[in-house]
Structure 1
């Protein structure tokens, strides 16, 4: 049986692959409809459609290569319905790279883990 931590880590690997392939629309099922995302520059993006649109805009930039999020820890709540993922992120744009730390909140909805909120902090 797959543990919740393994399921969340697997879903993160899938989002990394979709971002590397520049497939914005295929990211939508990973987001709760009311997701809240704070980008590395402090910008607030509200809702799955807006997050997908932000990815699509970045993917249209010929200098964008990928984002890679690497989980360091995944902690579950007592009920096993929410989890906090903490890790490091890297953004690769032709000619430059930036990165930092992130915290993602996952919730179990209809048997599937989806992102409820994400906070990215640029440190380099």
Structure 2
């Protein structure tokens, strides 16, 4: 009976990743670049919507800060459609749709994020964004 209780208290990895994604969406909407740092591995790799490559957490945070400084920038919203977990439960692939909102309009596309569990917390090791409209 104790085992069932303990199991009920464990967070499903997919739910944990979805919750962390929602939190990053809130931080981006609030233009809080520095608060995004703990969501990425130090050596994160990010391919942006136009195919450009950003390497390392410092560069990713600088890119966010630069966009947040632009008065035309609104936010990015990522909507998780699927989370697939590896057999060991330490890596996951998150797929979904993203929207970028600027005063001049919106862009949308699909994304894939690779999450890794590090010291009990899910962090992003790589992301690929594809602009489709």
User: Structure 2: which 5+ runs fail to align?
Assistant: 1-9
Secondary structure at the residue paired with 1:32? strand
TM-score by length of 2: 0.93
RMSD: 0.4
Structure 1 residues not aligned, in runs of 5+: none
Secondary structure of the 1:6 match is: helix
Q: TM-score, normalised by structure 1?
A: 0.99
Quick one: distance in 2 between partners of 1:114 and 1:95? 32
Q: Distance in 2 between matches of 1:37 and 1:95?
A: 24
Deviations 1:70-93 (A, max 9, x none): 000000000000000000000000
Q: Which residue of 2 aligns with 1:80?
A: 89
2:42 to 28, 33, 38: 33
Shift of 1:43: 0.5
Structure 1 stretches of 4+ with a deviation exceeding 4 A read: none
> Would you say 1:95 and 2:104 are equivalent positions?
yes
